[in-house]
Chains A and B, each alone.
Chain A
Amino acid sequence: MSTLLSRRAFLRGGVAAAGTVAASPVAKALPQDNTSEQLATLIDIQRCIGCESCVEACRDSNQTKFPNPAKPFPKMYPNRVPVEDWSEKQDVMDRLTPYNWLFIQSAYVDVNGEETELSIPRRCMHCTNPPCVKLCPWGAAQQLDNGISRIDADLCLGGSKCKNVCPWQIPQRQTGTGLYLDLLPSLAGNGVMYKCDRCHDRIAEGELPACIDACPEDVQTIGPRDEIIAEAHRIAADIDGYIYGEHENGGTNTIYVSPVPFEEINRAMEGGKGIPHLGAATNRMEAAENLALAMVIAPFAGLAAAAGKIVKHFKSGIDQGDANETK
């Protein structure tokens, strides 16, 4: 039985669906954050009409999580530290900002010989092994058991390392808010980083993320990653299409399906700050993962280096024993 959920599938069945959902792996995944199953979302690009219902729903649903910076901002040293203030530009909807965690990207591409405008919802990819989480020096970025990566606004110091290491530079900074104000605001930190948390609180309550819930076209589907991948391959086979997110950066929990190659979409898209690409993204954590093996071998290497001393020690013990026996 398929356990994938879109808004329509969620609503259509009413109580009956609720019963079905309760018995399905997705239902188990949705109400609990402590499941070991990674949930992924499938974004079928050809369904998106660019109405921005998802964008508005995201903003409404996450309103309470948005920054409310204190002004004037503390003077930061040295002067090169950039002040990033989006509080006066909260209406910006054509890129990622601390107040806009999802936006619609457009690209004019050739689909079956016809120039077509593709609309692509863009937000955090929720990598299966997220560098933003793994390389955060304070543990402020966290990955939940269900694959959601989120930034704890109460802990983040706004150093922007997460953005720097993200293959898509997703997290966005707001100066003048967060823990750094209580520490050394002039010398360390610079606000808080914000990004999509895939409505972790709604999912914990068994609800769909706001963007999926609001979509009138069922562009997005959520479910266990392996089922989402299978569904993405089924659609791709049907339309002779392409998949993005399955292997990028070692795999993500946001899978796009498109009728045209993503390289083509990427070329046709407008780039810039706060506008993530759809190009190649190699696994950034792979080199460190391979080196982790060296850590396991290291103690044995140390013992091998001490082999001479170990042999000498036991040999002298045996010699001592022989000498005692001779006496």
Chain B
Amino acid sequence: MKPNSTTATQSSSRWSATFNGGILFLLMLTGFAQMPIFKRYYIADIPGLGWLAQFYVTHFLHYLFAAIFVAIATYKTAEYMLEKKQVWKLSPRGYLMVLTLFGLIFTGGLLVIRNLSGIYFPASFIIALDIGHLLLVFGLMAGVAYGLFSKTGWLARR
């Protein structure tokens, strides 16, 4: 590959990582906004952040970012299985991150189904889903923080 082609690939990969990270951040932000905390703690008072205290707005945006995230996750899975798997394997941290993300997609998907009209889940199951979804987010945040400090990636060479 020519050097300028490598630079273009790296740049595109950086943009892609920034975009994916941005979607994940917005997902977490709108997810936390489902709890009545941003108004209580003045965050929604910051100019430009008033929407964080509007539950229907944050709920709609959480769905929107979730749909984009599911598309990204599907793309990344296909990319790994078809291209990267020959050279790379998931690192231990990568395994945990992937499991956490799929856990979030799974519990989030069930919560979306729960929210459809005419769908009844047992109360204890809904509580488990709500708490499970929240714990998985904390797990994800811990995983991201660990990655930043340890400088370990999701993939390791085979």
Binding site for B on A (CB under 8 A): 36, 78, 80-81, 128-129, 134-135, 137-139, 142-145, 152, 155, 159-161, 164-165, 188, 250, 284-285, 287-289, 291-292, 294-295, 297-303, 305-306, 309-310, 312-313
Whether A152 pairs with B123 at a CB distance below 8 angstroms is yes
Does B71 contact A301, Cβ atoms closer than 8 Å?
A: yes
Q: Which chain A residue lies CB-closest to B75?
A: A302
Residues of B that sit less than 8 Å from A by CB: 34-37, 40-42, 55-56, 59-60, 63-64, 66-68, 70-75, 77-79, 82-83, 109, 112-118, 120, 123, 126-127, 129-131
> Are B126 and A139 touching (Cβ within 8 A)?
yes
Q: Are B118 and A129 in contact (CB under 8 A)?
A: yes
Q: By the criterion CB–CB under 8 Å, are B34 and A137 in contact?
A: yes
- Tell me whether A295 and B56 are in contact (CB under 8 A): no
The 8 Å CB contact of A289, one of B41, B117, B129, is: B117
Q: Check A305 against B71 for contact (C-beta < 8 Å).
A: yes
Main secondary structure of the interface of B (DSSP, over half): helix
* Minimum distance in angstroms from A145 CB to a CB of chain B: 5
Roughly how many angstroms separate A134 CA and B35 CA in the complex, as a whole number? Answer: 13
Contacts between chains A and B (CB distance < 8 A), count: 117
Is the beta-carbon distance between A129 and B117 smaller than 8 angstroms? yes
Q: Besides A291-B64, A295-B109, A298-B67, 18 other CB < 8 A contacts? A: A80-B42, A128-B118, A135-B59, A137-B130, A138-B131, A139-B127, A287-B60, A288-B63, A294-B63, A295-B67, A298-B71, A298-B74, A299-B70, A302-B70, A302-B71, A302-B78, A303-B75, A313-B83
Whether A309 touches B82, Cβ cut-off 8 Å, given contacts A292-B115, A302-B73, is: yes
The answer, among A81, A142, A152, A295, for a CB contact under 8 Å with B70, is: A295
Q: Are A143 and B120 in contact (CB under 8 A)?
A: yes
What is the minimal beta-carbon distance from A111 to any residue of chain B, in angstroms? 35
Q: Roughly how many angstroms separate A295 CA and B105 CA in the complex, as a whole number?
A: 10
